[in-house]
Structure formats: structure tokens, C-alpha cells
A and B are shown apart, each in its own frame.
Chain A
Amino acid sequence: MRTRLQTWILLGVAAIWALPLTSWAQLTTEDIASRENMESHIGNVTGHVNGLAKYDYRRYCVVCHGQLGDGEGESAKWMDTPTYTKPRNFQLGVFKCRSTPTGTLPTDEDLFDTIARGMDRSNMPQWSQFTKQQRANLVAYVKHFSPRFATEKAGTPITIPPEPEVTPERIKAGQEVFARVQCWKCHGVQGMANGPSASTLTDDLGHPIAPFNFTEGSRPKCGDTDRDIYRIFMTGLDGTPMPSFADNIKPDEAWDLVFYLRTFMQQKSKAKEIAKKMDLKPVSANP
């Protein structure tokens, strides 16, 4: 038998859940359908909205990303914790994993790679079993949800110079960059996601979000190659608190920072081996 107080508490909790955190306009089916000629171009493969994409989207994507691509599929309500972010709302045209500067649209290849790679520490699996054509179609399908792709061009991918040889000097220089731009404010002085600002971070929709913990062995969300890590801090992860550092880290310094970040990570790397012999002390949180 439920007491009256319990009923009121339940009602109160339900009311809080019903309040949208941010009320951004929802697009209609008609508006979305007006972009059904959207295409994607991956090398020599052209992806289309009409045809097989619709079936693949309904079979594999709709349960989280929703019929209208708004990220409100029926499973979405179970994904709302700092470490398991909500499904992307494709209508907004804002994407984390891009090779393009902050505030610009990703390239078709960026979306194509994200589908195959999946998103670590989220419910987005790897869809690498799809054919290239299937994935290209899904890229076109994802794009057609957002009016931005109809009016704006993708940003110009940032240039990444060839990766230099990792040396103790470069790791040391990377540590200086880490201290100067204050990555530790969120990621912590040892990359353990325990910086002073880590606990209050929220994404653009107001949901709590955790910074990346370099030490726990999982892959960074937008890929785990050295080039991926380089891209992450030079483009920023739009929609999250992670900003772009492109104005404040020079391309050569960026490689130094990649090497230093590698020393935190469990994955084997040359940087990690070198660092073992260097006796590196964590940076100071009070410069």
C-alpha cells in the first residue's frame, strides 16, 4: 500500500523529468522529408537517403536516435548519466568527432568513420560490419535530419603535420603545454578526470558529462590513434565542454602534447616506455 506522501514524491519526480532541460525547436516529418535528396560522398561511393538507408536506420539506429533523428528514441531515456551520454540529436547538426574546426560541420568521412568506430563509454556500438555503401547511405540519412547540411558546407579539415619521432624532450615539452593551457582543470594533473572543474561539467543540453579519464584503459571517443588524439584537442568536441585549442597550441607543440597524453594511457606506446625512464612528476595545480 503506497502512502500519500510516496505518491506525492513520485508525482514530483515525474514532473521534474517532464521538464525539458532546453527547449529547442523540433523539426517536423515534412521538413525533414524535404531534404530526401541529400547525398554523401565517401571516395567513389555515393550514399543516398532513399532506398536501403531507411531500412537500416529503422533496424539499427531508430531505437536510440529516434524516428525524427532527435535522439529521443525509446531507449534514449535510459541513457543519461555523466559517463553514458545521450544519443546524438541529428537535427541540431552538432557533432563531437570532426576533422573540422569548432563551429563547423563535419565532413562526410568524419560521420562515416564515427559509424564504424562507435563511441566508447556510450551505447553507440561499432557498425564496422556494414558495407561501405551501407555506411555511406547512413551518413546521407544522418545529414538529412539537419537543415544545416542543406545550407552550409562542411568545414575545411585542419592540417596535421606528419608525426615526428617521440623523444624525452618532446614528452617534456608536451607536459609544459599540458600545464600552460591547463588541461588539468578538468582532466586532472595525472589525467584521471579529477581536475577541480571535473565535477560540474555539463554538455550543451545541460546534462552532466565527465571529462575523459586517460588512465582507465578505454579509448578516447573520437578514435585512439595519435592523429585522432591530435584532432580531438585541436578541433574540440562540439556539444561538450571540451573546447578547441587551435588558437593556443602550435602544430608542432600539439604532437608534443599527444606524446605526453600517451604517458597517462594504459595502452602500450613508445612515449609511455620512454616516460618510464624519465621519472616525470605531475604538473602543479597551483601555478
Chain B
Amino acid sequence: MKNRYNLAAVLSAVVLVCCGALILSQKVSAAGEGKITGTVKLDGPAPHMRGIDMSKDPYCVKANAANPAHMETVVVGKDNGLENVVLYLDGWSGQADVSTAVPVYDQKNCMYTPHVLGLDVTQTFKVVTSDQTAHNIHPLPNPMINVGWNQSQPPGAPPIEKSWKNPEVIPVQCNIHPWMHGWFVVVKGPYATTGDDGSFTINNVPPGNYTVKAWHEPDETQTQKVTVAAGQSATANFTFKAK
């Protein structure tokens, strides 16, 4: 009788240890995720960004009176760092980035903030308006890839929550204010967008060999091969030629 109890105890201990090992091993691999960091720079003098004539809408003129708005096709910061570059892993076959972050796309002072919004496929994002003038938010995907829509956002409008099904670079525009032009860059897997100093960090990258792709509007891309070791940080720096 006693032996049988012993056997049961040993068996349950074995099961427990196995379960624990399984859980731990998963945690171990999560902790093994590395990251890719780097800086994107512009080679050459930053091109002149022309000012925007907003006289169509007195509200917009007033909102930008202190700090006149300029085109944002090429935005260069400290040490020629290039802003608004989206970096992602080309040919990513893993799970979609399970980030629960809900990025916000704001219509502020009759401009899009940010100008470029990186997104994972199916990641929810919010479109809001901070302006006291009516906008319409009108993304223009290729209808063969994603389904477009067009919604009004008058002053005080509630946020719109949306997501995109497939990877695509989607231009977005406001028809009321024709200078308002931005981008949704929808990719698969981990991604990052450069800040005003051109730096970026792609988090949650499992160990392995990758091709990092850097996208800058309208359709300029560069790639670079990197190897990410468990728990380590790999580096990828990019340089875009000034035009």
C-alpha cells in the first residue's frame, strides 16, 4: 500500500517538474529576445521644405501663426538624424507583434501628428482630432490589399478606432485641407519608427538572422542583414542620400 502512495507521489512530482520546466523554458525564450538599435541619417544637406499656405482655413492659419508649418517630406533633426523612417524585419514569419499599445494619429494644427505612423497588421490605432475645424480622415489603400474608408471628424468628434488587415504603405489625406498628407506604414512583426534624432529600437526580436528594412516616404527602402543573439542588442545604421 505504502509503495503505491510513494509511486503516486513520485509521479505527481515528475508531472509538476515537467510542467514547471515547460513554463520556465517559455519564459527563458522570452527573456532571450534581443533588440535591434541604430540611427538613420541623411547624407547631404537637408532639402528645403516649403512652407504651407493654409489660407483656405483661417483656423489653420491662426494655429500655425507662431510656428509656420512646413512640408514634412524630409524631416532632419540633430546630427542629420532622419525622422519618420519605419524599420521592420523583412519576411517576418513569426507571430504578429502582440503589442497592446494603441498608437494615436492626431489631427493637430491642421497637420498629422505623427506624419508617419508605423503599425503591425491588425494592430488597433486611434484617430483623434485636437482641432477646432472639421477634418475628414481618408486613407487611400490599394483596394486589392486593404479596405479604405473616409470619415468626418468635426471639432469635438469622438476618436475612431481602426486596424489594417494586410501589410501596405497607405497614404492618408484630408480632402478639406489638401496639404494634410501622412502615411500608415503597415508591416508584419516588430517595427520601430525613428524619432527626431533618427534613432530607433526594434524590441521583442527573437534570436536569429534578419534583414532589417528601412522605409522612407514616398517609396525609398534600404535593407541590411543583422544577427540577433539571445538577450543581446544588434546594431543597424542606415544612411539615406539627400536629393
Q: A204-B148, A244-B152 are contacts. A24–B176 as well, Cβ < 8 Å?
A: no
Bound-state CA distance A154–B123 (Å) is 23
Is A47 in contact with chain B by the CB < 8 A criterion? Answer: no
In the bound complex, do residue A238 and residue B150 qualify as a contact, i.e. CB atoms below 8 Å apart?
yes
B51 within 8 A of A: no
The majority secondary structure among interface residues of chain B is: loop
Task: Name the B residues within 8 Å of A169 (CB-CB).
Answer: none
B151 contact set on A, CB distance < 8 A:
102, 236, 243-247
What 1/0 flags go to A165-207 for Cβ under 8 Å of B? 0000000000000001110011000000000110011101000
Q: Determine the chain A residues whose CB is within 8 A of the CB of B149 once the complex forms.
A: 102-103, 236, 238, 244
Interface pick from B69-77, B132-140, B205-213: B132-140
Which of A73-102 touch B at CB < 8 Å? 91-94, 102
Q: Are B157 and A238 in contact (CB under 8 A)?
A: no
The answer, yes or no, to whether A6 is at the interface (CB within 8 Å) is: no
Q: Which of A24, A242, A243, A247 contacts B158 (CB 8 A)?
A: A247
- A-facing residues in B114-151 (Cβ within 8 Å): 133-134, 136-138, 140, 142-144, 147-151
Taking the closest CB of chain B, its distance from the CB of A109, in whole angstroms, is 21
Contacts of A243 in B (CB 8 A): 136-138, 150-152, 175
Given the known inter-chain contacts A103-B149, A181-B134, A247-B160, please indicate yes or no for A197 contacting B177, CB distance below 8 A.
yes
Tell which of A152, A200, A244 touches B178, judged by Cβ atoms closer than 8 Å. A200
- Number of B interface residues in the complex (CB < 8 A): 28
How far apart are the CA atoms of A281 and B126 in the complex, in Å? Answer: 37
Q: Is B56 an interface residue (CB 8 A)?
A: yes
Does B58 have its Cβ within 8 Å of any Cβ on chain A?
yes
The reply on A25 being an interface residue by CB < 8 A is yes
Closest Cβ of chain A to B44, distance in Å, is 28
* 8 A-B pairs closest in CB distance: A103-B149, A241-B175, A182-B134, A243-B136, A92-B143, A243-B152, A200-B178, A243-B150
Interface residues of B (CB under 8 A from A): 56-58, 133-134, 136-138, 140, 142-144, 147-155, 157-158, 160, 175-178
Query: Given known contacts A180-B154, A186-B176, what 14 new A-B pairs fall within 8 Å (CB)?
Result: A94-B148, A181-B134, A185-B57, A185-B134, A197-B56, A201-B175, A204-B140, A236-B149, A238-B149, A241-B176, A243-B175, A244-B151, A247-B152, A247-B160
Could you tell me which A residues sit within 8 Å of B by CB distance? 24-25, 91-94, 102-104, 147-148, 152, 180-182, 185-186, 196-197, 200-202, 204, 236, 238, 240-248, 286
A-B contact pairs, 17 of them (CB 8 A): A93-B143, A94-B143, A102-B150, A104-B147, A148-B147, A180-B155, A185-B176, A197-B176, A204-B148, A238-B150, A242-B150, A243-B138, A243-B152, A244-B150, A247-B153, A248-B154, A286-B58
